[in-house]
Structure 1
Amino acid sequence: MGFMNYANQSTLIYKHGLYNHIKNQRIDLARKLFDEIPSPNSLLYTIMITGYAQKGKINDALNLFEQMPVRDTISWNSMLKGCLDCGNLCMAETLFDKMPERNVVSWTTMVNGYLQFGRIDKAESLFYQMPVRDVAAWNAMIHGYFCYGRVEDAIRLFDEMPCRNVISWTSMIGGLDCNGKTDESFLVFKKMVGYGILPTATTLACVLAGCANVLDLYLGLQIHGCVIKIGFSSDEFICASLITFYANCKLIEDTSKVFNEKLHENVVVWTALLTGNGLNGKHETALKVFSDMINLGVLPNQSTFVSVLNSCIKLEAIDHGKEIHTVAIKLGLVNDVFVGNSLVVMYSECGNVIDAAAIFRKIDEKNIVSWNSMIVGNPDEITFTGLLSACSHSGMLQKGRYFFEYISRYKPNEVKLQHFACMVDILGRGGKLEEAEELIKNMPLKANSMVWLALLSSCRMHSNAEVAERAAKEILDLEPHCSAAYVLLSNLYASAGRWSDVSRLRVKMKQGGIVKQPGCSWVYLKGTRHEFLSGDRSHPLSEKIYERLDWLGGKLKEFGYCPERSYSLHDVEDEQKEEMLSFHSERLAIGFALITTAEGSTITVMKNLRVCGDCHHAIKLISKIVRREIVVRDSSRFHHFRSGSCSCRDYW
């Protein structure tokens, strides 16, 4: 008895030593300790094998497994799970076939393995071959069915279960919600409560997720009360679910109340708060949440970066985006596909296509979102829209036709209104106005105002009043208060000197209460947005800005610049027209940047409307005069002005 007690004590000491090394990522020290054990038993072998598997060293685990003098079912199961955790399904299948004895854990582990690798048919076959199925096996198969969208099979299996536990019910609630059957998931929850089964924190988190999805405020408030009553208020995942629920229901103050109830160290809770603020348009607050979590030592994950970079995009805050990019580099997440995609979009949206391309190249495993993000700078747009848009902005008429004919012929069900709008834009920009109009008339879908606006914009470009008037009529029939239609047609009349028609349209707009969106440009300086309207003198640095523009005006004339007065859309004297052009909003923004930023640095200007032809010509020369790159993002595209030329090649 004394010897047995000594052996048990020794095993216990070695067991704790191995666990301690493995837990602290010291696998080499764990192996050194293992090799010092005189006669390790199967438990100690299994601990060491599991440690190797957790570190991804599956070959070392297998070698040790084969050295075992006696292998019990537990060690076989540990090796089986290790293979699956390391992504080696083939080795797991070989081991499973060789097992001298299998218990229910062996079968369930293999079922989970097949599900993990998307082999649902193999998992299903193995499940029905099991000699004995415990509740864990049934739960695994139900969860698997839901993961692969086989909702009816999951419901059928749940109904067939001989006995259920709270995990079974929770799997049903979460699975139904994830597959768009949230109302049915609520019915399952009510049935579960009716049977007297006490929900776990995971159960309540699933129900709250459903409430967030369908904006069921009443049930969500009831669940919050239940959370407090049961005592789950401190559970991190419950807190995250409550924050998401209140944020989706636009009760942003309640998200802060939930968050402030305790000091959180879980990244999931912080990410929920950050994302919730972003969803409610509180992007500055979202950036502050990110800053606070970093200062408190809470490390962001992929979801955190995706959300905070989205807020940077909405604020067009590239400086903040660069800081967040630095954090991602330090944490080793910059090559992650989700973080990488968001960085590509952020830099693309802020006009820095070089950095966007560099990040795109570094993404380890690119997905379709990566490619779409690189093509269009926006993961919400589909690839063909990006291709057609690129053809439009590059003047590639024949390539645009090719891509449009390709999707029309081979993917007719994927042709959407935005594709037609892009093709109309391509034809219109290329001067094929009649062909563009004919395309609209023969569309299988009913054209919306977006499609007709593409044609009207091209008519303005090519001064074709006849087609423009027909396009404007179609737009105003669809949207009587569409200011863009009035403005485009008015601008066309103004450039042709048809001032009576301009006057008529302006009276009609006034009578209809239709307000033209004023042209506005802005520059970010040290995180602060500086906005300018045409002729604006309200900025504190206006005097210096106008002095710099006056100086530039003289230099422009030395470089042969002549104002294109047709872009001054007012019936005034030529001298006044020239003055109006000189102080368009984008020029004021450039003047401000010239006096507030370092010599030689890139100037980035954002503009809500399309840059006019005169300003485009002037900015090309300004970039040469001041020897700086000037990036202007207007409503049409990014313009990169360098040494007297523009990236758009004067086609936008």
Structure 2
Amino acid sequence: MTKKSIGLVLHSLVKPSNILTTSLASSLHTTTIYDHINRASTLSNKIPTPNLYFYTKMIAGYTQNYQLFDALKLFDKMPVKDIVAWNLMIKGCFDCGNLGMGLKLFNEMPERSVVSWTTTMNGLFKFGKVEEAESLFSGMPIRDVAAWNSMIYGYFGHGRVHDAVRLFERMPERNVISWTSMISGLDQHQRSDDALSVFRKMVALGIETTSSTYSSVLTACARLQALKSGVQVHAKIVKFGYLYDVYITASLITFYANCKLMEESCQVFNEKPLVNVVVWTSLLTGYSLNDKHEDALSVFQDMVRTGIIPNQSTFTSALNSCCEIEAADMGKIIHGTSVKVGLDVDVFVGNTLITFYCGCGNISEGIHILRGIKERNIVSWNSIIVGCAQHGCGRWALAFFCQMLRSVVTPDDITFTGLLSACSHSGLLEKGRHFFEYLDQCKYIEVKMEHYACMVDILSRGGKLKEAVGLVKSMPMKANISIWLSILNGCRMHSNLEVAENVAGNIFEIDPRCTGAYVCLSNIYALDGRWSEVARIRGEMKRKGSMKQPGCSWVTQKGVRHTFVSGDKSHPLREKIYEKLDWLREKLKAVGYVPHGNLALHDVEDEQKEVILSQHSERLAICFALITSPVGSSTITVMKNLRVCSDCHSAMKLIAKIVEREIVLRDSSRFHHFRDGFCSCGDYW
């Protein structure tokens, strides 16, 4: 409707003789629909005799802008209140977060319509008052199909799937919304097969379908990867003319992407003459689901170039792709775009930014993002706590946990996994015990395998190896290999061969070819100088076909990943890399560095051991970064697939001091930040 037609509608609702009221009415309504509520309020004060329509419009404007006090004040001033005004005011209370006032008004209503009851029932569901909503529904004098639909929707929204199904079966009358709600609700609760059964029954009964129905059905087909059913639905969509609905297009793209058919997803996208942000985001997310993250980021760039403004889901999917391929530079560009459109403070985008920066080695920026989020939720706090754990900032994690509690956010199982992991990486043994004991006694959180794994790791790293074995034996579930490997790694750290051999035996009972156990046990023997045992272990590995995973490290520059393995001489810049390696070796000797020869894990001469250690993959990656970036430039970030050895760890601290740059190394255990001769882990990892 145009501004002119709005003015004409309002003109017909006021007294023709009141020219002042008529002209102001047009301005009032126009400003209200454009959310200029303050301007509208000023204009309304100049209207001599406002009618019922004006009051309801102003109340709607106030509540839409969360100005509940002003809405209630105006409602009290109304000389006559019809049932529409009452219903609007009750809904406004619920929308503004005031359940008590909404219920009070409902109880005070002189007469109620079915809309009044349904609105109040929806309000109760919004605030999690499921039993109260049930009671209200039972007490309704008249129930129309909309009331039944709202009840079903509310049940699904609170995980009461059985109750929703039972109520649907009892419905005296159903419409297309009833059927679509069932399909969508069942699918959202991992009952996609049942959702498709409901759709087939709906079609058999001749119920007319809508675009929303087909969108929900396609979502269920996508979840099940039910290609045949989805293709049949696609044919019906073409037949009934829904193909150009943007949500149908988006659902089709997602469906084919889930079925690993990105060519078909692209075809659907290209056949759409006008695409909006929802369709673009579906294509981007489809590429991400198929691990084609470079293509996903290309879609994001094309989208922005086309002039489409990304939404929350777009930024979340694009940043997740950046996390997967460690595209830090592209992630920063996407972050900049989110700032331009004002979504950097949005909780969903902000949470993803926290995960992105923490995953790319920049914990400080992750913390900065958290502080900028307007309304933090449980995911916000969990993301930063887990991020601190990854970076070994245990005390920071505890500090954020305290802030979380002060914000009246209830911790969940992920929170405690993050806290226990933070204690493990920071050597906070007693704190870890405290959290685990609290969790074990907590009634609303189930203690999971992840929690036991973290506690076992805390005990193992802290040298409490026998206690760790005892905890594993007391677990209500069977321990997996990962938990036993944590104890074996603790045996390596504390040179406890006796426990190591027993633990290795438990691992080989589960998996006789477990490479990690063979390698860790071999390392323990080598550290003890028992080379005959090392040879025996290696021979056993060879006989059983258990191959050690080769260590590799990589640096990403300008979107290109440069990967290195130990002693690698395949890189185009190998001559300059090894020149820099020799230069570093001399500099390290000058500052008193002595190689840890026993860590070469080969029975060879000391000079050979020094060469082997100096050519570990992470050192080659650092040399590459040094020769390809200006002196004094930004932080060097290196990723490694295995745990960094203690010799390289010692060398990294000195290299960071020699080149006067921070070096961030992420190994299989955690992030290490090397600066000025020190590491953030405090030599505990």
Secondary structure in 2 matching 1:382: helix
Secondary structure in 1 matching 2:271: coil
Q: Distance in 1 between matches of 2:561 and 2:156?
A: 47
Deviation string, structure 1 residues 379-414 (Cα, Å, up to 9, x no partner): 998233323322222223333334334434556983
Residue 54 of structure 1 pairs with residue 64 of structure 2: yes
Residue 525 of structure 1 pairs with residue 557 of structure 2: yes
Q: Distance in 1 between matches of 2:69 and 2:438?
A: 49
Deviation string, structure 1 residues 443-468 (Cα, Å, up to 9, x no partner): 44322211221122222233333333
Of residues 448-457 and 143-152 in structure 1, the stretch that sits farther from structure 2 once superposed is 143-152
Residue 632 of structure 1 pairs with residue 665 of structure 2: yes
TM-score scaled by length of structure 2? 0.87
TM-superposed CA distance for 1:32, in Å, is 5.4
Cα 1:434–1:72 change in 2 (3 A) is: closer
Of residues 508-517 and 204-213 in structure 1, the stretch that sits farther from structure 2 once superposed is 508-517
Q: Distance in 2 between matches of 1:204 and 1:23?
A: 32
Structural mapping, 1:536-615, within 5 Å: 536-600=568-632, 601-615=634-648
For 1:89, give the aligned amino acid. L
Cα 1:45–1:447 change in 2 (3 A) is: closer
Q: Distance in 2 between matches of 1:419 and 1:104?
A: 49
Q: Distance in 2 between matches of 1:380 and 1:78?
A: 37
Secondary structure in 1 matching 2:594: coil
Q: Distance in 1 between matches of 2:360 and 2:12?
A: 71
TM-superposed CA distance for 1:639, in Å, is 0.9
Deviation string, structure 1 residues 206-236 (Cα, Å, up to 9, x no partner): 1122222233222222111111111111111
Aligned to 2:414: 382
Deviation string, structure 1 residues 499-532 (Cα, Å, up to 9, x no partner): 3333333333333332221111111112221111
Q: Distance in 1 between matches of 2:584 and 2:358?
A: 30
CA contact (8 A) 1:418 1:451 kept: no
TM-superposed CA distance for 1:312, in Å, is 1.7
Of residues 153-162 and 562-571 in structure 1, the stretch that sits farther from structure 2 once superposed is 153-162
Deviation string, structure 1 residues 473-519 (Cα, Å, up to 9, x no partner): 32222122322122222223333333333333333333333222111
Q: Distance in 2 between matches of 1:383 and 1:32?
A: 48
Cα 1:432–1:95 change in 2 (3 A) is: closer
Q: Distance in 1 between matches of 2:602 and 2:658?
A: 29
Aligned to 1:514: 546
Residue 169 of structure 1 pairs with residue 186 of structure 2: no
Residue 486 of structure 1 pairs with residue 518 of structure 2: yes
CA contact (8 A) 2:525 2:531 kept: yes
TM-superposed CA distance for 1:200, in Å, is 0.5
Residue 284 of structure 1 pairs with residue 317 of structure 2: no
Secondary structure in 2 matching 1:458: helix
CA contact (8 A) 2:320 2:356 kept: yes
344, 347, 355: which is aligned to 1:337? 347
For 1:622, give the aligned amino acid. I
Cα 1:89–1:389 change in 2 (3 A) is: closer
Of residues 589-598 and 498-507 in structure 1, the stretch that sits farther from structure 2 once superposed is 498-507
Deviation string, structure 1 residues 339-396 (Cα, Å, up to 9, x no partner): 2222222222222111222222333333333332222238998233323322222223
What is the number of residues matched between the two proteins? 650
Aligned to 1:641: 674
Q: Distance in 2 between matches of 1:374 and 1:195?
A: 51
Q: Distance in 2 between matches of 1:384 and 1:29?
A: 49
Aligned to 2:393: none
Q: Distance in 1 between matches of 2:347 and 2:536?
A: 54
Cα 1:436–1:84 change in 2 (3 A) is: closer
Aligned to 2:483: 451
TM-score scaled by length of structure 1? 0.92
Q: Distance in 2 between matches of 1:272 and 1:450?
A: 36
126, 149, 169: which is aligned to 2:159? 149
Structural mapping, 1:178-257, within 5 Å: 178-257=188-267
Secondary structure in 2 matching 1:640: strand
Q: Distance in 2 between matches of 1:441 and 1:46?
A: 67
Q: Distance in 2 between matches of 1:8 and 1:179?
A: 56
Residue 651 of structure 1 pairs with residue 684 of structure 2: yes
Deviation string, structure 1 residues 527-568 (Cα, Å, up to 9, x no partner): 221111111122222222222221111111111111111111
TM-superposed CA distance for 1:620, in Å, is 0.7
CA contact (8 A) 1:388 1:400 kept: yes
TM-superposed CA distance for 1:115, in Å, is 2.1
Secondary structure in 2 matching 1:531: strand
Deviation string, structure 1 residues 305-332 (Cα, Å, up to 9, x no partner): 3222222221122222222222233333
Cα 1:180–1:596 change in 2 (3 A) is: same
Of residues 190-199 and 370-379 in structure 1, the stretch that sits farther from structure 2 once superposed is 370-379
Cα 1:43–1:393 change in 2 (3 A) is: closer
Q: Distance in 2 between matches of 1:306 and 1:425?
A: 32
Secondary structure in 2 matching 1:334: coil
For 1:49, give the aligned amino acid. I
Aligned to 2:6: none
TM-superposed CA distance for 1:284, in Å, is 1.6
Q: Distance in 1 between matches of 2:12 and 2:618?
A: 87
Residue 428 of structure 1 pairs with residue 438 of structure 2: no
TM-superposed CA distance for 1:165, in Å, is 1.4
TM-superposed CA distance for 1:136, in Å, is 1.6
Structural mapping, 1:14-163, within 5 Å: 17-31=27-41, 34=44, 39-163=49-173
Cα 1:411–1:562 change in 2 (3 A) is: farther
Deviation string, structure 1 residues 271-303 (Cα, Å, up to 9, x no partner): 322222222211222222222222223333333
Aligned to 1:617: 650
Q: Which runs of 5+ in 1 are unaligned?
A: none
Cα 1:264–1:648 change in 2 (3 A) is: farther
For 1:630, give the aligned amino acid. I
CA contact (8 A) 2:14 2:22 kept: no
Of residues 570-579 and 411-420 in structure 1, the stretch that sits farther from structure 2 once superposed is 411-420
TM-superposed CA distance for 1:144, in Å, is 1.4
Aligned to 2:383: 373
CA contact (8 A) 1:533 1:584 kept: yes
* RMSD across aligned positions (CA): 2.9
Cα 1:233–1:622 change in 2 (3 A) is: same
Secondary structure in 2 matching 1:414: coil
CA contact (8 A) 1:240 1:268 kept: yes
Q: Distance in 2 between matches of 1:411 and 1:68?
A: 50
TM-superposed CA distance for 1:615, in Å, is 0.8
CA contact (8 A) 1:456 1:485 kept: yes
Q: Which runs of 5+ in 2 are unaligned?
A: 1-10, 391-410
Aligned to 2:527: 495
Of residues 594-603 and 194-203 in structure 1, the stretch that sits farther from structure 2 once superposed is 594-603
Q: Distance in 1 between matches of 2:163 and 2:658?
A: 70
Q: Distance in 1 between matches of 2:437 and 2:143?
A: 55
Secondary structure in 2 matching 1:260: helix
Residue 298 of structure 1 pairs with residue 331 of structure 2: no
Q: Distance in 1 between matches of 2:554 and 2:599?
A: 21
Of residues 579-588 and 36-45 in structure 1, the stretch that sits farther from structure 2 once superposed is 36-45
Q: Distance in 1 between matches of 2:412 and 2:298?
A: 26
Q: Distance in 2 between matches of 1:641 and 1:282?
A: 33
Of residues 537-546 and 153-162 in structure 1, the stretch that sits farther from structure 2 once superposed is 153-162
Deviation string, structure 1 residues 27-78 (Cα, Å, up to 9, x no partner): 3454455556565432343333323332233333334444444433333333
Q: Distance in 2 between matches of 1:5 and 1:441?
A: 79
For 1:645, give the aligned amino acid. F
TM-superposed CA distance for 1:26, in Å, is 3.3
Identity over aligned pairs, percent: 60
Q: Distance in 1 between matches of 2:12 and 2:183?
A: 50
